[in-house]
Amino acid sequence: MKKKLTAALMGFAIAFTVMGTSSASADSKMDQIIEPAMGTPYRIGGTSFSGFDCSGFTQYVFGQMNIDLPRQSSSQYQVGDAVSKSDLQAGDLVFFNTTGAGVSHVGVMVSKSQFAHASTSKGVRIDNIDMDYYQNRYVGAKRVMSNFSYSNYAAE
């Protein structure tokens, strides 16, 4: 299992480079939804491949899985079931306070430790949730996928 997880994480690192170019294949349907968005620039209010903001990106990803999310990160934080950080899995929404005024950033977990999000400075990318920046701003997580949706979209 550890070997498979290491291979999966290496696959993410290869598939989701900053340049957004790779020949590696995605591991799940959710990965296949996220991969084409990698490298898309950040645009406030953005909800498309011409530019995403964080909540526009998560709304797009979940919309592709037939799951409706509210438009703003603070509103997305109000839906789903709370999940402890130790129980995070692919498909969970993770929330951060990046402005000092409550929930202001959201991403979607792609593994136990990595999440995809629309970074204001680097566009859509994958980062480690344990990086100091995110660890210090972490607010919480929500699970909005049913078990059926998880097995259909996020499970490897």
Active-site residue set? 54, 105, 117
By the 8 A CB rule, do 50 and 31 touch? Answer: no
- Whole-angstrom Cα distance, residue 107 to residue 42? 13
Q: Which tokens belong to 64? A: 């592709």
